[in-house]
Amino acid sequence: MITTLTATTTERIVSALVEEEGVSGGSHVLTLIIDTDTAGLEDALAAAHGASRDHPCRIIAVVRPDTENDDVNDAATGPRSRDGHVPSDLPGHLDAEIRVGHDAGAGETLVLRPWGEAAEHVDTLVVPLLLPDVPVVTWWPTAPPDRPSTDPLGKLASTRITNTPALSDPVMALKALAPSFTRGDIDLAWTRITLWRAMVASTLDSVLREGAVRSIVIAGEPENASMALMVQWLAVRTGVPVAHVDVPGFSGIASITVTTPDGEIIITRKDQERVAITRPGGGEPQIVTMPRREPITTMNEELRRLTPDLVFEEVLASFIAQNCPAREEVFW
């Protein structure tokens, strides 16, 4: 069920929540704040609602006004001023939706649409709606702030999630964000390669212990932030040169080739669900199930951890040293 409130206040939202019996938060394990735009809202909510099945939470989505659309933001009031519900001379106001039941995952969802002056201090709108005594996570499913830890909504959270794979130039976005990352920050480009890292670690365990890895080549999608982080993780993990080969038209990682004194170990993506592992000496490739990661699974992982990822910190420091030579200070 969706309840719409026009030109409302946080007090009215809380009162409406009480009427919907969704204010207690007794079984909730966290509050998830989503900072997004109109275009990214529903996809972000779909991922959040899916993740909330395993991590019941209150979801607060703050929908930023479309600053590129003058018609929408005329007089800083927004479109609802044109349907007679909001005076046209109001300097700013807050519209909201309360979603419960099948429209809200395992919890309640609040969609806040601040207009004009109300959009200048969104943290003051969110604070009264936070659940007490549970962690707060802030997620930017589309464009992130320059420094998530100092953003008004980022300051409210112990975990801050960015999503560079969703941007037009993911690697450039990662380069821009990396030097300002603070402990508690994480990017879904890293979460996307969790299964790949586990696969590589288990496949190469014996040769790594023997110090038998000579070189590594990773092939896949050009300008992919997950690929860039995978290259750095392999370099940190193995201590050997790692080359990156672009595969135009491919999405994600296509293959990882590891050269050893006995020959090559190759892990190849066969399809959306499986990879093939080929070892020196011939024989049939080993087929292993490793599905591509969807937004729900990546969010699930981050909402489960809620602690700083120290391996990510180490890999990101290496990424900065390689790609951001003029900005090597990291604010951990």
Instruction: Give the pLDDT mean for 291-306.
Output: 91
Instruction: Give the pLDDT mean for 62-91.
Output: 57
**140 — pLDDT class (breaks 50, 70, 90):** very high
Instruction: Give the pLDDT mean for 232-253.
Output: 94
7: left (phi over 0), alpha (psi -120 to 50) or beta: left
Question: How does pLDDT run across 51-75, given as a tens digit for each residue?
Answer: 998 899 999 999 988 765 544 444 3
Question: How does pLDDT run across 143-176, given as a tens digit for each residue?
Answer: 999 999 999 999 999 999 999 999 999 999 999 9
Instruction: Give the pLDDT mean for 76-100.
Output: 65
Whole-number pLDDT of residue 198:
95
Task: Catalogue the long-range contacts made by 321-326 (C-beta closer than 8 Å, 24 or more residues apart).
Answer: 322/232, 323/175, 323/178, 323/228, 324/175, 324/178, 324/179
- What ranges do the domains of the chain cover? 2-188, 194-289
Instruction: Give the pLDDT mean for 102-114.
Output: 87
**209 — pLDDT class (breaks 50, 70, 90):** confident
Q: Which CATH architecture has domain 194-289?
A: 3-Layer(aba) Sandwich (3.40)
Pairing of strands 92-99, 2-5: antiparallel
